[in-house]
Amino acid sequence: MRPIVIAICLATVAFAEDPAPKKSDAAAEELLKKVEAKIQKAKTVSIRCAAEVTMGKAPMKFDMALDFKEGNRAKMLLTTIAADGKQESGGAACDGKTMRTKKKTGVTEAPAAADFAEKARAMSVRVSLIELSMAFEGTFSKDPLVCSEYAFLPDEKVGDRTARVVAFVATRGALRLDMKLWIDEKQLAVMKREWVGKKGDRESRETVTYSKMTCDEEIPDEVFATNEVKEEGKKDGK
C-alpha cells in the first residue's frame, strides 16, 4: 500500500459547500441498510472492485480484493496504479488473532482487535476504498460518517443488469460528500459507487465498480493465513 499517498489524498479531499438539507426518502435509506445487514450477518463475504480516484490533475486507480469470514477473519489485497502506470501492491490478513500488514516500508505484525473484522465489514459499503485500506493498517476514524438526504434516482443499467440508484449526503465535520450507489435490489449487492466533493472549481471524485459482492460462499481458512502476506522475494513470510 502507499500510506503517504493515501494520507495526502484524504487530507486534500475537496469540501463541498453545505446547502440547505433536503427531505430524506426512508425507502431509499432502508434499501441501503438491507445491503449492509446482509453483509454483517453473512458467514463469509467476498468483494472484488476497481476504483478511480480523481483529485486535481492526478487520477489514481485501485484494484481491491476483500474477504471476510466469521471468527474475526479478514483479508485485503490492494494494487495502486499511478497516472504513469506504475503499480504498487500491498495487503493485510487477519487470521482472527493476528494482523499482518504489508506496506511500502515492509511487513508488520500485531495482535488483532477482537472486533476488527466486524468494524471493517461495516465500512465496506459506504466508506471510500482509501479509508478502508487505512483501517486494515490499523487506522480507524474516530468520527463516523453521518448520512442523510437519501433519495432514489431513476434506475440505470450497469452492464446488462438494472440497478436501483440511491443518492445521499455523507458528512464528517467539515467534510461533505455527495454519494450514489447502484444496487442490485434482488441480490442486495452494490454494483457501483461514487462520491463527489466540490470546492469552487475543484472537484474530487471516487468511482468504484464492483465485479463481485457475494455472501456465504465457501472460503477456505488458509485464505486468511498471515504468512501469505510477505515482503517481495520472501517465501516464508518472515
Q: What is the pLDDT of residues 106-145, one digit of tens each?
A: 888 999 999 999 999 999 998 888 788 888 887 777 788 8
pLDDT tens for 26-58 read 999 999 999 999 999 999 999 999 999 987 767
The residue type at 53: V
Q: Residue 233: pLDDT above 70?
A: no
pLDDT tens for 146-198 read 999 999 999 999 999 999 999 999 988 888 889 999 999 999 999 999 999 87
Please count the other Cβ atoms lying within 10 Å of the Cβ belonging to residue 132. Answer: 18
Question: Which CATH class name applies to 3-221?
Answer: mainly beta
Pick the closest to residue 105 from 88, 123, 122, 124 (CA basis): 88
pLDDT tier at 5, thresholds 50, 70, 90 = very low
Beta bridge partners of 19: none
Please count the other Cβ atoms lying within 10 Å of the Cβ belonging to residue 154. Answer: 6
pLDDT tier at 60, thresholds 50, 70, 90 = confident
Q: Residue 225: pLDDT above 80?
A: yes
Task: Name the average pLDDT for the chain.
Answer: 85
Q: Which residue has the cell 483501517?
A: 135
Pick the closest to residue 98 from 89, 85, 107 (CA basis): 107
Q: Which residue has the cell 471524485?
A: 205
Alpha-carbon gap, residue 80 to 6, rounded angstroms: 10
Alpha-carbon gap, residue 30 to 37, rounded angstroms: 10
Tell me which of 102 and 201 has the higher pLDDT. 102
Alpha-carbon gap, residue 232 to 222, rounded angstroms: 20
Alpha-carbon gap, residue 3 to 11, rounded angstroms: 12
Q: What is the 3-state secondary structure (H, E, C) of the chain?
A: CCHHHHHHHHHCCCCCCCCCCCCCCHHHHHHHHHHHHHHHHCCEEEEEEEEEEEECCCCEEEEEEEEEECCCEEEEEEEEECCCCCEEEEEEEEECCEEEEEECCEEEEEECCCCHHHHHHHHCCCCCHHHHHHHHCCCCCCCCCEEEEEEEEEEEEECCEEEEEEEEEEEECCEEEEEEEEEECCCCEEEEEEEEEEECCEEEEEEEEEEEEEECCCCCHHHHCHHHCCCCCCCCCC
CA distances from 73 to 69, 101, 139, 227 (A): 5, 14, 17, 14
Over the Cα atoms of the chain, what is R_g?
Answer: 18
